[in-house]
């Protein structure tokens, strides 16, 4: 982890502007990178890039290795000759300021089918070679994933535990028969992954050449309805029918009287240990091919996690179980070397979590919005930050700063105004200033806070079903005025890349 002072901005690609109903990795993404470079950012933080399922959450994906095909850019497919301008003439009137997932997915699937059909007809030699190389390089997960998605499609989207027993249990004869009779559907899903990988890698190279690193995300748990669980049942606590024996969540706390019941299957960590954490190391290596730094979501689960018997209506009944801890991180370090990892150490944090984080010198997270319910000793206040941390005004799981301020108790608002020495009109930028001028090596804020947007721009409301992950910006990058204002902050508080290494020693 670099110890230079850095500034980052949080924006998921689905929130980028564009005409196709959902942000993608095409022209708007390149304009975004150009603008954040001008503003003096050296970090761009995104959420997981996996193929989203029910609820459209990037934290509940059909695979821990695959990419989201709905991020594929039609504009770049035009450049490749896989789409023609006439193909876009049927584009529906899709909203520009939010994602209507149903309409956007329908449109993107139509275009992806067209692109695959044209690829099969024209067989562009260079792209055919690239596709063949991709299939070979990624076969360890790609084959299972593409078969999983083809079966799911055939079963009208049903979860894999509702499939016929022979397919659910991956019986050799049934799988062979299905793959032979659905070869084109399977290849189509591999082709979608190829397009995503190709376009993302091109963007990632452009980002790197711009002097910017991408912070990505690894959720601790995977979705039950995923190729990972279907293809690797030995890695999880499942019964003989393939249903979860235990599921993930967090116990009751100040924020929820019944806790949070996430429902993800739990890992058989002893089995992972016996296999040298092969699956996890492959997952981290795959993620590091997408990003430069990784935020380990729910880091406390590596020290200890809340085990809930399957079938419980809430997370109240459960127990704490030790996680893989230092044994796991030591093995990852042994194989991969330096750990470019940020520990998401929020929630109920105990001493063992702190010890594990500090043993590997991993920066934790500080959320400024969390700091005003206490007193000046609160660890989320900027004057209490350690150097080795990543400090945020708020994250994708928080309200925007203005939204938080308008709904916070008056006692917290009063503390906030006194701390920042400002009135309510200046809260978002004064909170950014306080985080930026702190000793935290990395300071990050969501685009919504730089734009001083209210709750309507919130990205996610944990525990709320539906309506999340939909916010989009309508601008193509940052405005010139915003670039100037942000760059001034990055200069004032020594977070410009060109200032690093110039600190004078006394």
Q: Which residues are catalytic?
A: 297, 344, 397
Angle made by CA atoms 381, 382, 386, in degrees to the nearest 5 = 105
Alpha-carbon distance 414 to 411, whole Å?
5
Q: Tell me the DSSP string of 148-166.
A: HHHHHHHTTT--GGGS-HH
Separation between Cα atoms, residue 84 and residue 300, nearest integer Å: 49
22: DSSP letter: S
For β-strands 246-250 and 304-309, DSSP reports them as antiparallel
Nearest in space to 107 (alpha carbons), one of 85, 87, 89, 91: 91
Q: List the Cα angle 150/156/159 in 5-degree steps.
A: 80
The H or E element that residue 293 is part of is strand 293-296
CA distance 260 to 463: 7
Point out which residues pair with 294 in neighbouring strands.
216, 341
Phi, psi at 445, each rounded to 5°: -140, 150
């Amino acid at each position: 982890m670099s110890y230079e002072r850095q500034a980052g901005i949080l924006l998921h690609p689905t929130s980028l502007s564009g005409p196709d109903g959902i942000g993608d990795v095409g022209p708007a993404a390149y304009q975004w990178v150009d603008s954040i470079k001008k503003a003096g950012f050296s970090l761009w933080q995104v959420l997981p890039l996996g193929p989203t399922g029910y609820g459209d959450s990037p934290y509940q994906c059909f695979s821990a290795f695959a990419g989201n095909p709905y991020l594929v850019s039609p504009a770049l497919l035009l450049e490749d000759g896989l789409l023609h301008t006439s193909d876009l003439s049927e584009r529906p009137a899709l909203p520009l300021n939010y994602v209507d997932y149903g309409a956007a997915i329908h449109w993107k699937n139509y275009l992806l089918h067209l692109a695959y059909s044209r690829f099969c007809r024209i067989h562009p030699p260079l792209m055919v070679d690239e596709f063949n190389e991709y299939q070979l390089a990624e076969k360890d997960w790609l084959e299972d994933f593409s078969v999983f998605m083809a079966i799911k499609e055939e079963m009208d989207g049903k979860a894999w535990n509702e499939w016929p027993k022979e397919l659910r249990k991956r019986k050799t004869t049934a799988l062979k028969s299905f793959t032979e009779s659905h070869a084109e559907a399977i290849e189509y899903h591999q082709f979608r992954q190829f397009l995503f990988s190709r376009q993302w890698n091109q963007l990632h190279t452009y980002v790197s050449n711009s002097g910017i690193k991408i912070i990505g995300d690894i959720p601790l748990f995977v979705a039950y309805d995923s190729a990972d669980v279907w293809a690797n049942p030995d890695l999880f606590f499942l019964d003989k029918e393939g249903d979860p024996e235990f599921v993930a969540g967090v116990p009751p706390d100040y924020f929820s009287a019944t806790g949070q019941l996430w429902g993800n299957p739990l890992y058989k960590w002893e089995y992972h240990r016996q296999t040298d954490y092969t699956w996890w190391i492959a997952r981290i290596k795959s993620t590091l091919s997408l990003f430069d730094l990784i935020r380990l979501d729910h880091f406390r689960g590596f020290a200890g996690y809340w085990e809930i018997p399957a079938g419980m209506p809430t997370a109240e009944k459960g127990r704490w179980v030790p996680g893989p801890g230092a044994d796991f991180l030591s093995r990852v370090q042994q194989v991969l070397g330096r750990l470019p990892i940020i520990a998401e150490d929020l929630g109920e944090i105990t001493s063992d979590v702190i010890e594990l984080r500090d043993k590997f010198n991993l920066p934790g997270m500080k959320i400024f919005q969390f700091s005003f319910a206490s007193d000046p000793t609160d660890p989320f206040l900027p004057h209490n930050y350690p150097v080795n941390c990543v400090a945020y005004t708020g994250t994708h799981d928080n309200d925007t700063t203005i939204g938080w301020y308008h709904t916070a108790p008056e006692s917290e608002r009063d503390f906030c105004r006194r701390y920042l020495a400002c009135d309510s009109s200046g809260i978002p930028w004064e909170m950014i200033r306080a985080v930026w001028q702190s000793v935290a090596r990395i300071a990050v804020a969501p685009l919504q806070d730089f734009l001083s947007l209210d709750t309507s721009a919130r990205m996610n409301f944990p525990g709320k079903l539906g309506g999340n992950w939909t916010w989009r910006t309508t601008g193509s990058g940052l405005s010139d005025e915003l670039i100037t204002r942000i760059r001034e902050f990055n200069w004032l508080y020594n977070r410009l890349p060109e200032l690093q290494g110039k600190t004078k020693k006394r």
